[in-house]
Amino acid sequence: MKCKKCGGRAVLELRRHNTAFCADDFLGFFRHHVLETVRRWKMFARDERVLVAVSGGKDSLALWDVLHAEGYRTAGLYIDLGILAYSQESRAKCEAFARERGVPLVVVSVAERMGAAIPEVRQHTRRPACSACGLSKRYIMNRAALEGGYDAVATGHNLDDEAATLLGSTLRWDESALARQTPLLEATHPKLVRRVKPLFRLSERETAAYAFLRGIDYIVEECPFARGATSITHKETLNRLEDASPGTKAAFFLGFLERARGRFPALDGVSLTECVRCGQTTTGSVCAFCKLGEQIRGSLPLVGVTSPPRVEPVDPPADRGLIADVAAQSEIHAS
């Protein structure tokens, strides 16, 4: 098979685009998609500072790689969930990535912020691990970005992730989830930072190919709590549909954005206030993260919550001025 662009030997066939690319032209195709998405959706401007939430997986590291290579002002944010070997390995991948490229990485630990790591939260509350984890990640991403003076938080959600979430929300007719699903979540309060998903038009297979061809060393194992998750069943179902009819996922999710999302206006219309404990946004007086922390501290011996939470920048070999800047600006104060 030949590359549709240069006629050289193709390494990847993209059935949904009815095309095939050699390695160089695929990398160009991938970068072009990311940059076009950022530009068309006005996700962030060239002079804005972007905090890229990295998990150590292929998607978030591929995103950071593109943005860094294209000269965007980025830093990585690694949230240490405390999920034993999985967290240790994924953190090491992020640290190595940052070190090799000389880019700053901010590390925030859930155990230090909340008083317990995700497996303990699961054990000591009735919350499923992924629910506490999602809540913690959203909270920490926003707080780290806000306190570090970043203009946007970028996550590595790809087309498969978004289509699976959409399928789940549609099957439940969860109207408020449908109204909220967007690749660009504008800041609607001074204490909120814009959240963006620049990979939403690229498939998981495409981000895996990009990471492989770029030689990015990422964690292949899934989080142990992902096993048996409904979202995986939704992804498998969509993969079968995609095999039978290439382009199905894109038609489903991109069609939703273009034609259906606007039909689900935000139902809640809630007004946001600031949490009396930490100052982050909430709909009540104490935010869900602080409430969970209080619940945990009531049932567990304290784990480092009395000492100031640490933000640990990984010192890459170059650009120490920027690193110092990120470290200083990203310091998270105890609530």
Q: How far is the CB of 225 from ligand Q46 (least distance, A)?
A: 4
3-state SS of 1-46? CECCCCCCECCEEEHHHCEEECHHHHHHHHHHHHHHHHHHCCCCCC
Among 52, 83, 114, 275, the residue binding Zn ion under the rule CB under 5 A is 275
Q: Pick from Zn ion, ligand Q46, none: which does 223 bind, CB < 5 to 8 A by kind?
A: ligand Q46
What number of residues does the chain have?
335
Q: Which residue lies nearer to Zn ion by CB, 88 or 285?
A: 285
Site for ligand Q46 in 103-122 (CB under 6 A): 118
Is 134 among the residues that bind ligand Q46 (CB under 6 A)? yes
Strand-pair partners of 107: 78
- CA–CA separation, 172 vs 108, rounded Å? 34
Q: Is 64 left (phi over 0), alpha (psi -120 to 50) or beta?
A: alpha
232 binds, among ligand Q46, Zn ion, none (CB under 5 to 8 A by kind): none
Contact stretch for ligand Q46 (CB under 6 A) within 128-136, 149-157, 255-263, 274-282: 128-136
| Other CB atoms within 10 A of residue 253 CB | 24
The site map against ligand Q46 for 171-210 (x = CB under 6 A) is ----------------------------------------
Which residues inside 73-92 make contact with ligand Q46, applying CB under 6 A? 81
Of 99, 31, 105, 39, nearest in space to 69 by CA: 31
Tell me: does residue 287 bind Zn ion (CB under 5 A).
yes
- Choice from 94, 290, 314, 327 touching Zn ion (CB under 5 A): 290
Q: CA-CA distance, 227 to 133, in Å (whole number)?
A: 15
What the block records as the tokens of 243 is 């095999």
Q: Decide: 314 and 98 in contact? Cβ < 8 Å.
A: yes
For Zn ion, the binding residue among 17, 261, 277, 297 (CB under 5 A) is: 277
Question: Applying CB under 6 A, which part among 90-98, 100-108, 127-135, 181-189 lies near ligand Q46?
Answer: 127-135
Q: Which residues in the chain belong to E strands, given as ranges?
A: 12-14, 19-21, 49-54, 73-80, 105-109, 152-154, 184-185, 194-196, 273-274, 281-282
Picked from ligand Q46, Zn ion, none, the partner binding residue 134 (CB below 5 to 8 A depending on kind) is ligand Q46
Residue 292's closest CA among 111, 79, 30, 170?
111
Q: CA 179 → CA 175, 183, 195, 273, distances in Å?
A: 6, 12, 15, 21
Select from ligand Q46, Zn ion, none the partner in contact with residue 277, using the beta carbon and a kind-dependent cut-off of 5 to 8 Å: Zn ion
- Strand ranges inside 116-261, DSSP E: 152-154, 184-185, 194-196
Nearer to ligand Q46, 81 or 326 (CB): 81
Scan residues 218-257 and list those touching ligand Q46 (CB under 6 A). 223, 225-226
Q: How far is the CB of 76 from ligand Q46 (least distance, A)?
A: 16
Partner touching 178 among Zn ion, ligand Q46, none, CB below 5 to 8 Å by kind: none
CB of 30 to Zn ion, least distance (A): 38
Residues 225-264 that bind Zn ion (CB under 5 A): none
Binding site for ligand Q46 (CB under 6 A): 81, 118, 129-130, 133-134, 223, 225-226
Binding site for Zn ion (CB under 5 A): 275, 277-278, 287, 290
